[in-house]
Amino acid sequence: MNNDEFRAWSRRAADWGADYRDTLRERPVRPALSPGAIFRSIEASPPETAEPMDRIFADFEAKIVPGMTHWQHPRFFAYFPANAAPVSVVAEYLVSAMAAQCMLWQTSPAATELETRTVDWMRQALGLPDEFSGVIQDSASSATLAAVLTMRERALDWQGNKQGLAGQARVRVYSSDQVHTSIDRAIWVAGIGEENLVRIPVAGRFRAMDTSALDAAIISDREAGMLPAGIIASVGGTSTGGTDDIAAVAAVAKRHGLYLHVDAAWAGSAMICPEYRHFWSGVEEADSVVFNPHKWLGAQFDCSIQFIRQPEDLVRTLAIKPEFLKTHGHDGIINYSEWTVPLGRRFRALKLWFLLRAHGLEGLRTMIRNHVTWSEGLAARLAREADFEIVTEPMLSLFSFRHRAGVDPDEHNLRLVNAINDDGRIYLTQTRVDGRVAIRFQAGQFEATAADVDAAFGVVTEIARGLA
């Protein structure tokens, strides 16, 4: 592809993207396909000779797009959002065109320095104290892994990376069962082992960790010769929005000298609104906090910010400095590859900079407040229907419900969520609450409207009653 062709196809791709956004409401949110259909439509062997771009693009439109789940659809109410505000997409065009490897300051000074500035903008926007600094990770999974490795190393007096875990006391980490499964994976990858992730019982509307049980578990483990290392608290857990009392958990962590990591991957975005910050009261006492601007804030995936109280501990855990990665003649610079598990780094800060400038904090606050209001309204409407029950009350814009029908309520509600998703007008997911099936709803798509959330009420009640 020569430069003229590159220019023409770049314009065509941009036009296609705008047309795609314009037509999303006309598409089913999730494709009605059987597994293997797309695979069978793709040639079994790679091409020996070059093919024209017209043919490639036509196949993209004919074979790939119909098989996509449309995460930018305004009626995507499943999982959590993975938003990509249009201005963020434009920034990603520029990042892709430059294709910079931003692992060190010297490999792209502007990328490093913009990251430092935009992360601090977000710190201010969330109301975090100025002793926190931060780094843009690819996802909350990587941020949590970095936190778990740091708490492990700190507990082992910085000998884990050097000596390994064999022969050491068993390292213990504490959380509730409301945290994301990325915590389990971090425990696996860090070599701590699943049996050493201690699940603390939960209670109350927001399924918060019982801090008395947490305190007792830490004391018991120490008496048994184990090595408590850290606590992972949740703000807005994936299943139903499980949220710990961060101030109370922080007090336990401080009393026992443990590292505290707060996972606010989804709900953290809402903390740009001061009226929601009570959900993480005490967060200023944490050692690290993660939230994903690529979820609710509108930055295109991937863009996860990890705030750290003592970055020197993170760097001590992760930094490796061979001669070819040193920046000679400059002191006081930041090489963000020393703050992350991967060495390679994309220029993630640019889309966040574009997003914050194009929408402003007040524009983003309005979006989040609308989503919360609309979701609360939908929960109230369903609660007034005799054949529906609200299982978990709204936590911000997330709640769960159940339809009362059928001999087997679990089987009926699984059939219901599958029928809703096969219908294609909206997209929901299920979970289990106290062992029973419930259906999750969350409003969070960047371009959703009140009418889209209202439409969800009609679709859910229509299909539920049709099944019953």
Q: What is the pairing mode between strands 227-234 and 197-199?
A: unpaired
Please report the pLDDT score of residue 114 as a whole number. Answer: 94
Please report the pLDDT score of residue 116 as a whole number. Answer: 92
Whether 286 contacts 263, CB under 8 Å: no
φ and ψ of 136, to 5 deg = -90, 115
Please report the pLDDT score of residue 54 as a whole number. Answer: 93
- Regarding whether 369 and 307 lie in a shared domain, the answer is no
- Regarding whether 299 and 164 lie in a shared domain, the answer is yes
Of the residues 69, 84, 110, the one at which a domain ends: 69
Please list the residues that pair with 306 across neighbouring strands.
135, 290
Please, what is the angle between helix 86-98 and helix 3-22, to 10°? Answer: 160
- Regarding whether 366 and 331 lie in a shared domain, the answer is no
- Regarding whether 50 and 141 lie in a shared domain, the answer is no
Confirm whether 227 is domain-assigned.
yes
The 10 Å Cβ neighbour count of residue 234 is 30
User: What's the number of domains the chain is made of?
Assistant: 3
- Regarding whether 320 and 405 lie in a shared domain, the answer is no
Confirm whether 356 is domain-assigned.
no
Confirm whether 342 is domain-assigned.
yes
Confirm whether 124 is domain-assigned.
yes
Q: CA 273 → CA 227, 278, 396, distances in Å?
A: 38, 10, 11
Of 248, 246, 253, 249, nearest in space to 228 by CA: 253
Please report the pLDDT score of residue 205 as a whole number. Answer: 83
Averages of pLDDT over each 10 residues, the chain, 468 residues: 91 94 93 88 91 94 92 93 92 90 84 93 96 92 94 92 88 89 88 92 89 96 95 93 95 97 96 97 96 94 94 87 48 81 88 95 97 97 96 96 90 95 94 94 95 96 91
**What's 430's domain CATH number?**
3.90.1150.10
Of the residues 346, 380, 404, the one at which a domain ends: 346
End-to-end CA gap in the chain: 57
- Regarding whether 336 and 381 lie in a shared domain, the answer is no
Of the residues 47, 69, 91, the one at which a domain ends: 69
- Regarding whether 233 and 161 lie in a shared domain, the answer is yes
- Regarding whether 108 and 205 lie in a shared domain, the answer is yes
Confirm whether 91 is domain-assigned.
no
Domain of 444, in residue numbers: 361-467
- Regarding whether 108 and 200 lie in a shared domain, the answer is yes
**What's 291's domain CATH number?**
3.40.640.10
Confirm whether 400 is domain-assigned.
yes
Please report the pLDDT score of residue 328 as a whole number. Answer: 40
**What's 29's domain CATH number?**
1.20.1340.10
Distance CA 290, CA 407 (A): 43
Confirm whether 355 is domain-assigned.
no
Please report the pLDDT score of residue 329 as a whole number. Answer: 41
Q: Which two tokens stand for residue 106?
A: 């010297």
- Regarding whether 173 and 105 lie in a shared domain, the answer is yes
- Regarding whether 339 and 367 lie in a shared domain, the answer is no
Of 380, 440, 402, nearest in space to 76 by CA: 440
- Regarding whether 302 and 216 lie in a shared domain, the answer is yes
